[in-house]
Amino acid sequence: MAGNQIGSIFRVTTWGESHGAALGAVVDGCPAGLELAEVDIQNALDRRKPSSAVSSTARHEQDKVEILSGVFEGKTTGTPISLLIRNADADSLVYDELKEVFRPGQGDYTYLKKYGIRDWRGGGRASGRETAARVAAGAIAEKVIAVARMEVIAYTQEIGGSEIDRAKIPAGKDLRSKVRENILFCPDSDAAAAMVKKLAAAREEGDSLGGVVEVVVRGCPAGLGEPVFDKIDAELAKALMSIGSVKAVEIGEGFAVAAMKGSEANDQMSPDGFSTNHAGGILAGITTGQDIVIRVYCKPIPSIAKTQQTVDFKGVQRTISVQGRHDNCVLPRIVPVCEAMVNIVLADHWLRQRAAKL
C-alpha cells in the first residue's frame, strides 16, 4: 500500500491496523541530540485515548508506546526512530456480521474496489485507530519545533452547531491550559456544556455528530514553505485532509474570502508589521511570522446504530445497524491528531528552511 509516508526531511511512516497485533510509526530524519523519552510521547497519546466524554467509544486501549530504536541514553541518535503501540482491547467478533456488507460512509466499498480484499475487523487500516501512530510521531515533531520556539494549540470550535464564543478565548499562554480544562478540549466552558447535551441526545438516537477543530500556530518564523507545489498551506491542508474524518480545511478567513473585496481581504502593512491576519499567517505559500490559523471540518462518525440502507458484496439490498464500540463524534479525540499533523509539517519545513540559504 503506497501513501503511508509524509515529509521530505522529517519523514513519518505509519503502519498497522485497528484489530492487528500492533500499530506504530517510523520517524526518519529527526536530528540527533534531541532529548526524548517515552513519557514525552505518552503524554500526547493519553490525550487521544477514549475518555469519560459522552462522545467516546467503550474500547479502552492503554496505548502504551515503546521506543524500539533511534534513542540512546535519552537522546536521539539521528537514526530512524521506531515506535510501537500494541493493541490489547480489540473485539473482532462484533464485526462478523459485517464481513460481506458495505457500511454507509465507510471505506468498505472503496477499499475492496482498490485492492480486491479488505480487513473487515474494525475498518482495518481505514480505522481512526491508525491516528494513534500519527500522534506518537507528532509528539517527536513537537519537540523539534519547540527548539524554534513554535507552539501548536488545537481545540474544539464547534460540535453539532454549538460553537464557542470567541470573546471567551484567552490570549497568550493561558489558552493551552484553558483548552485542557474540560474533556472536550473546548476553551469555552458554556459552549462545552451545550456540546455535551447535543452529543448525549445524538447517542440516545443512535446517531452521531460532526464538528470543527481550530488550530493556532504561535511563534512560527517567517519564511517557511516551498514554492510552487510544496507551499506550506498546501502541505498543511494535505496533512490534515489525510485524517479519515476530515472533509474540509480552511486557513485564515478561508471560505469567507470568496465574498470579500481585495481591500477587505488584504493584510495591510506598517513599520510595526501587519495590521490584520486575514491570510492566516501565510502568503504565497510561505509563512509571514504571524500566527497560523487553521480550521478543520470533520464529518459525523459513520458507524451509527440507526438503521440504514446498503447492499452486500453481491449487490443485494440490505439494512444495517452498526453495533460495537464506537465514538459518536470524532471530537475531542481528533484534536491531538490535528496538532500532531501540523507539528509534523512544521518540523519538516523548518528543517528544510535551514538548508535553503546560507
Does 323 have pLDDT greater than 80? no
At residue 8, the pLDDT reads 97
User: Domain 5-353's class?
Assistant: alpha beta
341's CB contacts (< 8 A; 6+ apart) are: 134, 138, 236, 239, 240, 242, 243
**For the residues 172-191, what does the mean pLDDT come to?**
91
CA 63 to chain centre: 17
pLDDT in tens, 243-256: 999 999 999 999 99
Cell numbers found for residue 254:
478561508
Q: Which residue from 249, 308, 304 is spatially nearest to 282, judged by alpha carbons?
A: 249
CB atoms within 10 A of CB 50: 17
DSSP H helices in the chain:
38-48, 108-115, 131-146, 174-179, 189-204, 232-241, 262-265, 335-353
Give the whole-angstrom CA distance, residue 78 versus residue 100. Answer: 46
Lowest mean per-residue pLDDT among 102-106, 119-123, 236-240: 119-123
Place of cell 535551514: 354
At residue 1, the pLDDT reads 63
Strand, helix or coil at 251? strand
DSSP states of 266-282 as a string? S--EETTEES--TTTTE
**For the residues 219-242, what does the mean pLDDT come to?**
97
At residue 39, the pLDDT reads 97
* Residue 187 near residue 274 (C-beta atoms within 8 A): no
Cell numbers found for residue 349:
519545513
**For the residues 19-47, what does the mean pLDDT come to?**
96
Beta bridge partners of 26: 13, 82
At residue 121, the pLDDT reads 78
Angle between helices 335-353 and 131-146 (to 10 degrees): 50
Angle between helices 335-353 and 232-241 (to 10 degrees): 150
309's CB contacts (< 8 A; 6+ apart) are: 104, 317, 318, 319, 320
Does 154 have pLDDT greater than 80? yes
Q: Give the residue extent of every domain in the chain.
A: 5-353
**For the residues 331-346, what does the mean pLDDT come to?**
97
CB atoms within 10 A of CB 226: 18
Q: Which residue from 24, 22, 37, 28 is spatially nearest to 10, judged by alpha carbons?
A: 28
pLDDT in tens, 42-73: 999 999 987 655 655 554 678 999 999 999 99
DSSP H helices in 147-261:
174-179, 189-204, 232-241
Give the whole-angstrom CA distance, residue 154 versus residue 338. Answer: 7
At residue 325, the pLDDT reads 66
Ramachandran sector of residue 135 (left: φ over 0; alpha: ψ -120 to 50; beta: rest) = alpha
Lowest mean per-residue pLDDT among 127-131, 217-221, 272-276: 127-131
- pTM recorded for the entire structure: 0.94
The whole-chain average pLDDT of the chain stands at 92
Does 168 have pLDDT greater than 80? yes
Does 98 have pLDDT greater than 70? yes
Q: b vs e for 169-204, b when ≥16 Cβ sit within 10 Å of the residue's Cβ?
A: beeeeebbebbeebebbbbbeebbebbbebbeebbe
Does 139 have pLDDT greater than 70? yes
At residue 337, the pLDDT reads 98
* Residue 36 near residue 74 (C-beta atoms within 8 A): yes
CB atoms within 10 A of CB 65: 24
174 band by pLDDT with thresholds 50, 70 and 90: confident
Q: Which residue from 157, 80, 140 is spatially nearest to 346, judged by alpha carbons?
A: 140
91 band by pLDDT with thresholds 50, 70 and 90: low
Percent of the chain with pLDDT over 70: 94
